[in-house]
Structure 1
Amino acid sequence: MNSLSSAKPLAVVTGGTKGIGLSFSQRLTELGYQVVALFRHDKGAAETARAMLPDGFTAIPCDVSVPSAARHTAAEILRDHGTPRVLVNNAGRNIDRPFLELTDDDWHTVLDANLSAPFYLTQAFAPAMLTAGGGSVVNVGATTGIRPRFNGANYCASKAGLLHLTKCLALELAPTIRVNCLIPGMIDTEDMQMRCRTAAPEHRDSMFTGIPQGRIGSPDEMASALEFMIGDAARYITGQKLIVDGGQFMW
């Protein structure tokens, strides 16, 4: 076992080397966690994350949507780093097409990444977490798991399923492990800028009309929400969803 594991609690973050996931990794290291971030293929982002984060951060390639890969990597983490106190299921995929044009591969790729991967990893880590006395699992959902949108039947279905998986796990792993769902609204990441063209003032202005706070959120604000969800202040919260969206989905 890594010597750091005896000195620092361990957090595992999937998709933890860029975007909101990188903010999660950074905040967790600031809170004193040893962080293992899993990434699928972007080695450049992983190297950047390694350079910017302090000692105690490790980035490991793993396609968590593949059950054998997810379980093998979880076993390696348990062996080399110890038992996680925090598991953040953040990694996800998005392939948008009209429903009648979605292929079998489009469907399975998105559901495997967004819904099956959290199942695989939580199931792999939960026995050790239960034996160790508990911890916190945070699944990262999406507002489209609550309210649908066009051209995203696969994505919306996967995130709606993740909400219910969260509740099922919270029931079965209680009272030792808390399981909650953290849901970002419009957050200013590179992916959001590309998908929604938020760099263009006319697009940003049209988005603001639907957000009572009149702005897009930041990855750091998502990290603050995660800090709350895994902390002692939330010790009586499980099976719940926390929507960080400036009020956009209050209705």
Structure 2
Amino acid sequence: MTVSVVSGGTRGIGRALSLRLAALGHEVIALYRGDGESAEQTEKAGEGRITALRCDLTRPEEIHTVCARITADYGAPAVLVNNAGVNRDGPFLSMTAEDWDTVLATNLSGPFHLSRALAPAMVEAGGACIVNIASTTAIRPRSNGANYCAGKAGLIQLTKCLALELAPHVRVNALLPGFTDTEEVTERYGLDDPERLATVLGTIPARRLGTTNDMADALEYLVTTRSGYLTGQQLVVDGGHFMG
């Protein structure tokens, strides 16, 4: 049995990643924080291969409890996807300490604690991989997102450090989505406004938003033997929006 853990695995991109891993034959543990309805729907869509577990990534003790349960019930995961994230956008000069701390706790400290809790079993088992879902804003800053951009940039450096320290037993890479057609992205950037959407599409060479299936395709590459010689790298999937 191949076990995968996906944080934030019941909504948006995370849901697509959970479903893709299930389609590949994995037993998927999809972690979620709030929306029980989405969790139930994801379990149903997974046709018996997805189990949703509630876990607040801002609470290290909760992470360790859940991870202990996972390893006891399922053994060492072959795949860990650190996908969960939040954004609380706003101007830097008026950004509150709470907005800073909450975003960093979820987007950077959460992956640290989750990886730290599961990595010992993954190293011992060998042949595992971790994929951190960062963002193109980790390498291309934007206004009103100092907390989000800083957290995702830190996640890229965490990816590289883990790739060094967990080698050769665990490969660690980062997937950087660009503009992706999800409810959260539409709301954050106002893409339900046709003029705003047209402006954004004009900056993307592919002239379309990414889909959650685009991101699942990239994840499939990163967790299979086709990327067996790839670690410590960042895969940008954004239609050519950022060419660094």
TM-score (norm. length: structure 2): 0.98
CA displacement at 1:73 relative to structure 2: 0.6
Q: Which of 73, 81, 87 is the equivalent residue of 2:80?
A: 87
In the other structure, the counterpart of 2:96 is: 103
In the other structure, the counterpart of 2:179 is: 186
2:188 is the alignment partner of 1:199: no
Q: Return the letter of the residue paired with 1:138.
A: V
TM-score (norm. length: structure 1): 0.95
2:138 is the alignment partner of 1:138: no
| Residue deviations 1:93-124 (CA, integer Å, cap 9, x gap) | 10111111111111110000000011101111
Q: Which of 225, 238, 243 is the equivalent residue of 1:245?
A: 238
2:219 is the alignment partner of 1:226: yes
In the other structure, the counterpart of 1:49 is: 42
| Residue deviations 1:112-150 (CA, integer Å, cap 9, x gap) | 000001110111111101111230000000111101111
In the other structure, the counterpart of 2:59 is: 66
In the other structure, the counterpart of 1:114 is: 107
What is the aligned length? 244
SS state at 2:179 partner: coil
Taking the aligned partners of 1:196 and 1:157, their CA distance within structure 2 comes to 19
In the other structure, the counterpart of 1:3 is: none
CA displacement at 1:45 relative to structure 2: 0.8
| Residue deviations 1:15-51 (CA, integer Å, cap 9, x gap) | 0001000000000000000000000111111111122
Taking the aligned partners of 1:127 and 1:77, their CA distance within structure 2 comes to 13
Unmatched segments (≥5 aa) in structure 2: none
CA displacement at 1:193 relative to structure 2: 1.5
CA displacement at 1:80 relative to structure 2: 1.2
Taking the aligned partners of 1:199 and 1:64, their CA distance within structure 2 comes to 30
Q: Return the letter of the residue paired with 1:51.
A: K
Taking the aligned partners of 1:175 and 1:199, their CA distance within structure 2 comes to 45
Whether contact under 8 Å (2:87, 2:148) holds in the other structure is: yes
When structure 1 is superposed on structure 2, of 66-75 and 198-207 the one drifting more is 198-207
Q: Cα RMSD between the aligned structures?
A: 0.9
Taking the aligned partners of 1:184 and 1:10, their CA distance within structure 2 comes to 24
Taking the aligned partners of 1:195 and 1:158, their CA distance within structure 2 comes to 17
SS state at 1:47 partner: helix
CA displacement at 1:194 relative to structure 2: 1.3
Taking the aligned partners of 1:53 and 1:131, their CA distance within structure 2 comes to 28
In the other structure, the counterpart of 1:163 is: 156
Whether contact under 8 Å (2:4, 2:79) holds in the other structure is: yes
CA displacement at 1:14 relative to structure 2: 0.2
Q: Which of 11, 28, 31 is the equivalent residue of 1:35?
A: 28
Taking the aligned partners of 1:30 and 1:39, their CA distance within structure 2 comes to 20
Taking the aligned partners of 2:140 and 2:45, their CA distance within structure 1 comes to 36
Q: Return the letter of the residue paired with 2:28.
A: V
Whether contact under 8 Å (2:43, 2:49) holds in the other structure is: no
When structure 1 is superposed on structure 2, of 173-182 and 198-207 the one drifting more is 198-207
Taking the aligned partners of 1:134 and 1:68, their CA distance within structure 2 comes to 27
Q: Return the letter of the residue paired with 2:168.
A: P
SS state at 1:84 partner: coil
Taking the aligned partners of 2:26 and 2:240, their CA distance within structure 1 comes to 31
CA displacement at 1:244 relative to structure 2: 0.4
Over the matched positions of the two proteins, sequence identity in percent amounts to: 51
